[in-house]
């Protein structure tokens, strides 16, 4: 069996009944979003296990080739070339192995899985969620965009279109412009997904109002 990508987890007090796999952004690690779990105030009876994978360390072109944790390289800020295809596909393969392992370990079906991520992690959430062989319970993409947008229509699985998608973005985002987030969301809608879009007057971060909304959405979907 292939070695699973390194990750940390936050477990419920009782039995595991559902799973959220949440990917971090460029230069961060799985530790970046783990402290968010208590803030979500998820009821114990939902039994949700949170898994936060660590991206591999790789040279990032836009940062002068300095190595850091990233799901893929960024060589250009152009929409169609912003995400390095090779890196996206490699990371997607590793993340899918982790997802499949987690579902199998706890005898969970895909309708008890949310695939989530922020920034580069949100890109990976889009990519993975839209291509699941069986529909996940939800896709959560924060302050992100689509990798390989021109290929989505051809590669999206028919079953995945049943998955609800929630997308959030800051209107003052200086890293991933909100216009890029809006265009990406339209691509996902046009591919046949039911997408819920939310904007907040913030930069490239997560705000308290957003956390409250995410909590309600997770409880609604996995409750």
Catalytic residues: 119, 173, 204
Cα–Cα distance list, 17 to 40, 41, 151 (Å): 17, 16, 34
Unique residue bearing structure tokens 């072109």: 61
Phi, psi (deg, nearest 5) at residue 129: -60, -40
Tokens of 82: 């912003």
| Cα distance between residue 201 and residue 170, in whole Å | 6
User: Is the Cα torsion angle 172, 175, 179, 182 positive or negative in sign?
Assistant: negative
Count of C-beta atoms within a 10 Å radius of residue 14: 10
| Cα distance between residue 41 and residue 177, in whole Å | 30
For residue 170, what are the contacts with CB-CB under 8 A and spacing of at least 6?
143, 178, 199, 200, 201, 202, 203, 204, 205, 207
Identify each DSSP E strand in 109-189 by its residue range: 113-118, 138-142, 165-170
| Cα distance between residue 158 and residue 64, in whole Å | 40
């Amino acid at each position: 069996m292939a070695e699973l990508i390194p990750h940390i987890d936050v477990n419920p007090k009782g039995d595991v009944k559902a799973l959220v796999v949440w990917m971090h952004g460029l230069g961060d690690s799985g530790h970046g979003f783990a402290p968010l779990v208590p803030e979500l105030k998820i009821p114990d009876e939902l039994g949700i296990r949170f898994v936060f994978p660590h991206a591999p360390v790789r040279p990032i072109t836009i940062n002068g080739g300095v190595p850091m944790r990233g799901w893929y390289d960024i060589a250009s800020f152009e929409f169609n070339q912003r995400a390095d295809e090779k890196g996206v596909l490699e990371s997607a393969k590793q993340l899918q192995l982790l997802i499949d392992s987690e579902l199998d370990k706890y005898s969970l079906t895909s309708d008890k899985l949310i695939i989530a991520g922020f920034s580069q992690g949100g890109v990976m959430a889009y990519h993975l969620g839209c291509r699941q062989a069986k529909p996940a319970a939800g896709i959560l993409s924060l302050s992100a965009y689509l990798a390989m947008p021109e290929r989505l229509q051809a590669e999206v699985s028919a079953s995945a279109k049943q998955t609800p998608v929630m997308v959030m973005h800051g209107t003052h985002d200086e890293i991933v412009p909100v216009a890029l987030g809006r265009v990406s969301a339209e691509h996902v809608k046009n591919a046949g997904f039911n997408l819920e879009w939310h904007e907040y007057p913030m930069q490239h971060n997560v705000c308290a109002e957003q956390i409250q909304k995410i909590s309600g959405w997770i409880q609604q979907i996995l409750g």
